[in-house]
Structure 1
Amino acid sequence: MLDCIEIEPKTTARASVIWLHGLGADGNDFVPIVDELGLGADHGIRFVFPNAKPRPVTINNGMTMRAWYDIKGMAIADKQDAEGIRDSAAEIEQLIAREAERGVAPESIVIAGFSQGGAIALHTGVRHADRLAGIMGLSTYLPLADSLATEASDANRATPVLMAHGSQDPVVPAQLGQASRDQLLDAGYDVAWHEYPMQHQVCMPQIATIGRWLGERLL
């Protein structure tokens, strides 16, 4: 089981958000955003921020860092690390199962992530066997897209998907995010797309959008 940072609600947890960090970061990365989401004092949502395991990353000269999978070249969607992606997805499945053991059913769980974490959130969410409350990918893309048609779970065909991207993103180009959005839309998914004049980051208008979207899914 992955090591996680958790923020418990003041009341009994009725819902959960499993939020995955980006390459080289850790579970602390998005902790400060929770108080900015405007969810109210009694929201009843547990926030789970897992730490990816350290692994060598080819694009960073083989340096070991927290990563959900290897990045093998400058074009991040090429030469994809299928084994690493699937291993990380299996670890997120364990976290979903643990939430069920703690009384939060999948239909009250949102899988979210930024950059690499967002890629794993999208990959795992559309394949999860039970319906989720929502899937959120920020500044990211859909990995292993060629296997979507054969591996997607019918349970999450109608699950809302939130994608947000910076129009000036130099790390994950907006065009890659848009292509992933279009593939999900073509496959029948309910995708809400938001684009902001920013780079590879989050901004306050985006945080407000996330807060409203989570509130609609979980409150």
Structure 2
Amino acid sequence: MGGRSSTMAAPVVVNATAKHTATVIFLHGLGDTGHGWASAVAAIGSPHSIHRPTRHVMAVTLNAGFRMPSWFDLKSLDVDGPEDGGGIKRARDNIHTMIEEEVRGGIPHERIMLGGFSQGGALALYSTFTHARTLAGVVGLSCWLPLREEFPQAAIGNTGIPILQCHGDCDPIVPYKFGQITSQIIKKFAGNIEFKTYRAMMHTSCEEEMADIRKFISQSLPPV
């Protein structure tokens, strides 16, 4: 981690369009920031408050040590490549802290959802299953489950919540097979998962996926 502080920049917040009764915490991908998904998140049209935190800049092994916003170090994108276990768990702890900050602000755990794209989706999945309190659901876009060898033992909670996993079948960055493997692993300990495939989609999003996310959020976080 280069000895830098583990604090994050202030999150980009899309305020609720009605009374704030639920929160979606959406985590960006490698090299992006909380602003990067602004238009996509706005297109979801959720009435809930959406937080998009930005991770601090760090050297990333996968990119020859180039410094960029990253939740943890990425050493490889090989299916059995080495992982930054300590960094993943420190990032998870930061996300858990964000959840508790929302709870202190009056939003109950079961009205908080995690989601993310690519590296952010990976962290969202890991943070959800290693959180003891029940959350509303989790959305993982074009991502994978980090430290998958720890599961199912590492899944201390949220094994019954709704899970939406999405992946393009032409993804050149996080291969589609990673999404398939992740879905198969998760199904072994958390059965309420839907894995959606988007034909010809690369490492990005599309209108169909955004519509599916919007539907998932509205079903998992209905108005109160």
In structure 2, the residue matched to 1:172 is 174
- Spell out structure 1 runs of 4+ moving beyond 6 A: none
Find 1:26's aligned residue among 33, 55, 61: 33
**Aligned residue in 2 for 1:184:** 186
Equivalence for 2:137: 134
Cα distance in 1 for residues equivalent to 2:149 and 2:79: 15
Query: Which one of the candidate residues 68, 73, 80 is aligned to 1:70?
Result: 73
Paired with 1:203 and 1:172, the residues of 2 have a C-alpha distance of 16
Aligned residue in 2 for 1:209: 212
> 1:33 Cα shift?
1.8
More deviation in 184-193 or 67-76?
67-76
CA RMSD of aligned residues (A): 1.3
What is the deviation of 1:151?
Answer: 1.6
More helix by share: 1
Tell me how far apart the structure 1 counterparts of residues 195 and 20 of structure 2 sit (CA, whole Å): 28
C-alpha deviation, 1:77, in angstroms: 5.0
Query: 1:76 offset after TM fit, Å?
Result: 6.0
| Residue 31 of structure 1: how far off its partner (Å) | 1.6
Measure, in 2, the Cα distance between the counterparts of 1:128 and 1:171. Answer: 28
Question: How many pairs align?
Answer: 214
Residue in structure 1 matching 2:59, options 50, 56, 61:
56
* 1:23-52 deviations in Å (ceiling 9; x for gaps): 00000111212332244xxx2x11000001
For 2:35, the aligned partner's letter is: N
| Equivalent residues of 2:12, 2:34 under 8 A apart | yes
Greater shift in the superposed pair: 185-194 or 68-77: 68-77
Aligned partner of 2:126 in structure 1 is: 123
Structure 2, unpaired ranges of 5+: 1-6
Partner of residue 13, structure 1: 20
Could you tell me the TM-score, scaled by structure 1's length?
0.94
Percentage identity across aligned positions? 32
Instruction: Please state how far the C-alpha of 1:79 moved relative to its aligned partner.
Output: 0.4
Structure-1 residue corresponding to 2:87: 84
Unaligned runs of 5+ in 1: none
Alignment of 1:94-105 (within 5 A): 94-105=97-108
> With structure 2 as the length reference, what TM-score do the two structures score?
0.92
1:109 to 105, 112, 115: 112
Tell whether the 8 Å contact from 2:26 to 2:114 is kept in structure 1 after alignment: yes
